Amino acid sequence: MQALTVPVYRPLPVEVLQGEIRNVCGNFDLEPMPGKSLVAGDVSLRRMEYFDAAVVALDARYVQRSARSIRQDPGEHLYLLVQDEGHCRVQQGDRTVELAPGDMFLVDSVEPSSFVYGGRRSNQISVHMPREEMLHRFGSACTGGVAIDQRDPLWIAMRAVLAKMLMGPEVQVQLREAFLCLMGAYLQAGRSGNRAPETLLSRALGLIDHHRQDPAFGPRELASRLNVSERMLQRHFQSLGETPGHRLLNRRLELAHARLSARSPEQKEGIAGIAFDSGFNDLSYFYREFRKRYGTTPGAVARH
């Protein structure tokens, strides 16, 4: 099976590689093989429009997230772990799964977990998915550790979409929702008894993603489509720690950033056109909020 990424194995002190893992993935502890003070590996971060993906290569004995680590760093994500090279034994709750190249496992960050490598080289992609939003979309079916079977046709589709998402920002905007739909279909088929019914919040999130390019679409229109008051809509968004307007603004900024990053010199569409096509009808507001979010200007992103 062709790998999705190219692994990097460089000798690093254990505490250095552990620090890189914690910086990108959260509070995990790394254990080298007995008598070893160096681990061959590397950690890099891929931005994928909405998700972040960590690429982690190492030859450690194991990596674990203990109950103590969870108390120090409460989990905010589900990690879709994709075994890209080598092997790994994943233990979470009462589940123990052997991962070979291509295998996937959805790790729940609020439960203790172990990843055992036995000193063999392993390269993994960890797609970070906001836990609260996943719960609203899929219910408890996505929690507790879920193995995704290579024999399932949905695995083939998920891997193909993930490969496209890793290629660059120019295709991520269109594929993000497709990836979530495929995952939802897999979870529903495998654990339909635990699937929660569609909630108002999950419907709201879907409508925001679908209509974010429409400048006329705002919190009032969203509430109207859901047949609720704006006050009630805001209460449903409190679990995500944001308002409907803030969510809509962020999704528009992410869309504009992805399009600016993918813009080639020969493209005629300017920054103003990208802003308008991303749902903004006020250029000064767009520039101000873009700089506030990303710490740089749209022009700098386009040039880079």
Answer left, alpha or beta for residue 182, where phi above 0 means left and psi between -120 and 50 means alpha: alpha
Does the pLDDT value for residue 171 go beyond 60?
no
Type and span of the H or E element at 70: helix 67-72
Q: What is the residue type of 103?
A: D
Q: pTM (2 decimals)? A: 0.69
The tens digit of pLDDT for each residue in 3-50 reads 999 999 999 999 999 999 999 999 999 999 999 999 999 999 987 767
Look at 40-44, 62-66, 110-114, 256-260 and tell me which has the smallest mean pLDDT: 256-260
Q: What is the 3-state secondary structure (H, E, C) of 32-48?
A: CCCCCCEEEEEEEEEEE
What's the rounded Cα separation, in Å, for the pair 186 and 171?
23
Does the pLDDT value for residue 196 go beyond 50?
no
Q: Encoding tokens for residue 286?
A: 């767009």
What's the rounded Cα separation, in Å, for the pair 146 and 129?
14
Fold of 10-194: Jelly Rolls (2.60.120)
What are the structural domain ranges in the chain? 10-194, 203-303
Q: Which residues lie below 8 Å from residue 265, measured CB to CB, with a gap of 6+? A: none
- Nearest of 181, 177, 165 to residue 4 by alpha carbon: 165
Q: Does domain 203-303 have CATH number 1.10.10.60?
A: yes
What's the rounded Cα separation, in Å, for the pair 233 and 222?
9
pLDDT of residue 173: 62
The tens digit of pLDDT for each residue in 121-164 reads 999 999 999 888 888 888 888 888 899 988 888 999 999 999 88
The tens digit of pLDDT for each residue in 243-268 reads 999 999 998 998 888 888 877 666 66
Does the pLDDT value for residue 172 go beyond 70?
no
User: Phi/psi of residue 153, each to 5°?
Assistant: -55, -30
What's the rounded Cα separation, in Å, for the pair 94 and 168?
37
Strands across the sheet containing 95-99: 29-31, 62-65, 113-116, 88-92, 95-99
Please state, for a pLDDT cut of 70, what percent of the chain lies above it. Answer: 92
51 contacts 129 by C-beta, under 8 angstroms: yes
Does the pLDDT value for residue 94 go beyond 80?
no
Does the pLDDT value for residue 190 go beyond 70?
no
DSSP secondary structure, 85-117, as one string: ES-EEEEETTEEEEE-TT-EEEEETTS-EEEE-
Average pLDDT, the chain: 87
